[in-house]
Structure 1
């Protein structure tokens, strides 16, 4: 079974700055449209069986699993932090919503209006909870307006808290230094630096659920120089830190989560499917293109020789064999496919797959394809020092062309490749008829 012959593989989506020109509402609309179109069938060359949600939920087979998507983002797109953060946020939102009501009440939902100068107050809470929120945007206390401070020429006096100290005289540095177990101090210091660079004063409410985990996430994904720093605009970063300054509710991540999901759905996912359709590595594809050109040249040589000879016109049809094989091979190779590998429904192993073993440690959960453990976020996405790079570079070109192969398990991907192969055959057949017809119309040369 194949798809329609007018099928077009996903177009390459550039990772240019077009993301910055789209606001949050447009990104959310694009996400909703992507979800709706992917559930209704073929969407931009991607079948429902290979949709983003299907891959993330673990409903696909190699080479289209979440692990393969992660490897593509890490080694090809160099943007694995987006999927890592997205998987963590899904897990975090689920765990937060499963908390008891009294614990969730400590971290109220964050609304976009809280980012304005006149924040909307949440509903009335108990005195104990109100004491916890004292000094934050959620405090139910009247805002006192000082007429002198409204005077642009008035300089307020230096207060005890203006030197970076928390309430009670405890400095933020001393608070960070107190978190010494498991590298907590380093994460806290980096998170504090992120708040200071955004012009915010951090007063961490340690009683809020998952406050320590959020601090580490800020250190890894938000702070400058983080191990997996997200590519966020200054406004997105400041709004996120402002929200996390007051609450650990998943809604605080709403803006950043939308940006990350939009990048994954509308940019990374189509590029991943387009890349996965290629069943051979670059040396093999270039070799296949060379074979296609050689076949076409062979067809032209045979057609010219038979035309210049005294042989009958019917003999010139023999050149169609070279044209058909050469053109079909060239069309398939132009789309990243090797027809020989496709005949067996095989693909080359990726360079990072060639030198891995099942007993090697990995931060990725082999059973659930997720990053639920916060410890898995400690390492960076840099791979320049991984041993497979040096080993793969030592391989000669012939060995790379005939690298190890593996069977393609995903049925939807095989269907796409079957469709592209039939398109290559159909295109080659039409072009062959035209070329051979022209040669058959030429009179005999009778040169030999």
Structure 2
């Protein structure tokens, strides 16, 4: 596979403020839509690693959809977006395949209905904000800023989330029978009824198709305190609940899906690509940086000794090797890559992948399932086991081959850039020392 352009730049990290600006710009563009490939807004992502390709199973580890989910759980702490996204896509398919008589009981939630409810919900929300004392917490409640404000830089210290769900194995549909569990049937109905009443909506007809499943979605993703509560503004939450009180048609989830889809495409996906380019864990990357600096200093030490000695001027070319290797290693490490691992096209096994149970199954939650407890992982056995590993063992953790060709292509390009940068700076240092007169001290 050919290299990318030598001017290639990996995707920039998308913080909440950048995401908000991108989403607003996208909404202001009349011709833009969520499904028109908005993931391409971020530069540095080849088509082979597009959001849709990952979701549709067209990529290999470590860029597969399960790797994306693990990233959202353990690093970004936003797995509920992808969990809801996958559920909705499946729900949309199953609803279209349902009996015609059942579909007739759930009319479509039109755009005109949505606009009317959204306008009313927004008006009530802002009027309430004016009546109540405006505090920072109240202003940012239910927005991107609230969710990201308590996130830790350390991906192994997730803020604890209090689950409201009770494990349930009975299931409501064929799809639900495949899940890890969630709130029980009776509990789901009760909590969903409270959500409808709090939103000022009427209780929906229970004869609509997938009615019980919709109740579980409300109690799992929408209502306050839900185990996998989505990051929604108050008006988005209220408008969606009112839509679901009218129909169980997939169009009732339009607001939620638009919010989740844009968050995944505009923020999570570019950050996932950027994070996956790094082939080593944090201790290994810092070790590579130290090694790069050490080689550069060794090059300077040798150059100074040769300059002060009676050795011929030609010997001063020798430090170029140390400078080029050191600077290349340092540049690659700055972008999260270890050149030694890259030479083998390997990557470190992630901490949550390192430890297996006695029966050979990996530790982990049912993150690929639509219903279940929250996505907190502090109680998983691997967390303590990994923290107890000494620093040397972390630096030389187990490695695994990178299967995805597009990712290897990106890493090959970054490696070439690092070599060129190392050679460039090495030649500059060499030219400086060649120009300095010899000391002839020894």
TM norm. shorter chain > 0.5: yes
Q: 1:18 to 1:422 in 2, by over 3 A?
A: closer
Distance 1:326 1:118 in 2: 61
1:23 Cα offset (Å): 8.3
Q: CA deviation at 1:19?
A: 3.0
Show structure 1 runs of 5+ residues with no match: 120-180
| 1:190 paired to 2:191 | yes
Equivalent pairs, count = 375
TM-score by length of 1: 0.79
Q: Contact between 1:24 and 1:255, CA under 8 Å: does it hold in 2?
A: no
Distance change (3 Å), C-alpha of 1:344 and 1:24: closer
CA deviation after TM superposition for structure 1 residue 195, in Å: 2.3
Distance 1:47 1:98 in 2: 34
The whole-number CA distance in structure 1 between the counterparts of 2:298 and 2:412 is 26
TM-score by length of 2: 0.80
Q: What's 1:404 paired with?
A: 398
Name the structure 2 match of 1:151. none
Asked whether the equivalents of residues 57 and 65 of structure 2 are also in contact (C-alpha less than 8 Å), the reply is yes
- Contact 2:3 2:413 (C-alpha < 8 Å) held by counterparts: yes
Determine which of 350, 358, 361 is the counterpart of 1:359. 361
Sort the Cα spacing of 1:16 and 1:191 in 2 relative to 1 into closer, same or farther, 3 A: farther
The answer (yes or no) to whether the contact 1:191–1:219 under 8 Å persists in 2 is yes
SS of residue paired to 2:90? helix
Whole-Å separation in 2 of the counterparts to 1:33 and 1:112: 19
Partner of 1:29: 32
Aligned residue for 1:129? none
Of 358, 368, 389, the match for 2:383:
389
Matches within 5 A, 1:95-134: 95-115=94-114
Cα distance between partner residues in 2 of 1:242 and 1:377: 22
Deviations 1:392-436 (A, max 9, x none): 011000000000000111111111100000000011111111110
1:242 aligns with 2:242: yes
Q: Distance in 1 between matches of 2:420 and 2:307?
A: 26
Could you tell me whether the CA contact under 8 Å between 2:19 and 2:267 is conserved in 1?
no
* d(CA) in 1 for partners of 2:335, 2:26: 35
- Give the alignment's Cα RMSD to 1 decimal: 2.4
What's 2:7 paired with? Answer: 6
Cα deviation for residue 255 of structure 1 reads: 1.2
Q: Distance in 1 between matches of 2:412 and 2:15?
A: 27
Counterpart position of 1:313: 313
Contact 1:86 1:260 survives alignment (8 Å): yes
Which runs of no fewer than 5 residues in structure 2 stay unpaired? Answer: 119-169, 172-183
Larger Rg over CA atoms: 1
Q: Which residue of 2 aligns with 1:253?
A: 253
Secondary structure at the aligned position of 2:248 is classed as: coil
Secondary structure in structure 2 of the residue aligned to 1:295 = helix
Shift in Å at residue 116 of structure 1?
5.6
